Amino acid sequence: MPDPPTSACLSGVPLEGHLEVYPEWVEAGDSVSVHITVTNLDLNCAQGPFDIELVDDSGALWWPRKDMDYGCSGCGYIIQNGALKIYAGKTMSEWTDFNNIGQATTLYLKVGGKPLASAKINIKQNGPVNASMECKPAIVPLDGSTTCTVYFELKSADTVTLNLEEVDFGGKKVWPNGPSSVTVNKQTVILTPTNMQEDLTITLDINKEFVNYYLDYPLLNYGYKMTKYSYLIVAKISDGLRVSDVVQLSDPVNVQTFEDKARKAYGIAKTIKSAYDDAKSGIIGILETVTVKGGKELAWILHYHTLLEDQETPNNNIIGG
- Write the CATH number of the domain with boundaries 126-252: 2.60.40.3880
Assigned fold of 6-123: Immunoglobulin-like (2.60.40)
Residue 314 pLDDT greater than 70, yes or no: no
**Residue (of 165, 137, 158) closest to 149 by Cα position:** 137
Residue 164 pLDDT greater than 90, yes or no: yes
Model confidence, pTM = 0.78
Residue 275 pLDDT greater than 60, yes or no: no
Domain regions of the chain by residue span: 6-123, 126-252, 257-311
pLDDT tens-digit readout, 219-253: 556 677 788 789 999 999 998 899 999 999 987 64
What pLDDT shows up at residue 102? Answer: 85
DSSP reduced 3-state for 100 = coil
Q: Around 317, how many Cα atoms within 13 Å sit in the side-chain half-sphere?
A: 27
User: Looking at 44-58, 102-116, 187-201, 207-221, which range is the least confident one?
Assistant: 207-221
For helices 257-275 and 280-289, the axis angle rounded to 10 degrees is 160
Determine the longest span between alpha carbons in the chain, in angstroms: 80
How far, in Å, CA of 241 to CA of 205, rounded?
Answer: 24
> What's the average model confidence in pLDDT over 138-161?
93
Q: Please, which pLDDT band fits residue 127 given cuts at 50, 70 and 90?
A: confident
pLDDT tens-digit readout, 70-125: 998 788 999 999 999 999 999 999 999 998 888 889 999 999 999 999 999 998 88
> What's the average model confidence in pLDDT over 188-196?
95
Most confident of the following: 148-152, 214-218, 274-278: 148-152
Q: Please, which pLDDT band fits residue 274 given cuts at 50, 70 and 90?
A: low
Separation of first and last alpha carbons in the chain: 42
- Residue 37 near residue 17 (C-beta atoms within 8 A): yes
Q: Please, which pLDDT band fits residue 66 given cuts at 50, 70 and 90?
A: confident
Residue 24 pLDDT greater than 60, yes or no: yes
| Bridge partners of residue 319, in order along the sequence | 231, 312
Mean pLDDT over each residue of the chain, to the nearest integer: 81
What Cα–Cα distance (Å) separates residue 93 from each residue in 30, 149, 298? 24, 36, 40
Q: Which residue has the higher pLDDT, 273 or 125?
A: 125
What Cα–Cα distance (Å) separates residue 302 from each residue in 211, 215, 264, 299? 19, 15, 11, 5
Q: Which residue has the higher pLDDT, 5 or 313?
A: 313
What pLDDT shows up at residue 221? Answer: 62
| Bridge partners of residue 164, in order along the sequence | 237
Q: Please, which pLDDT band fits residue 319 given cuts at 50, 70 and 90?
A: confident
pLDDT tens-digit readout, 1-16: 444 334 345 456 689 9
Topology alike, domains 6-123 and 126-252: yes
What pLDDT shows up at residue 301? Answer: 52
Residue 200 pLDDT greater than 50, yes or no: yes
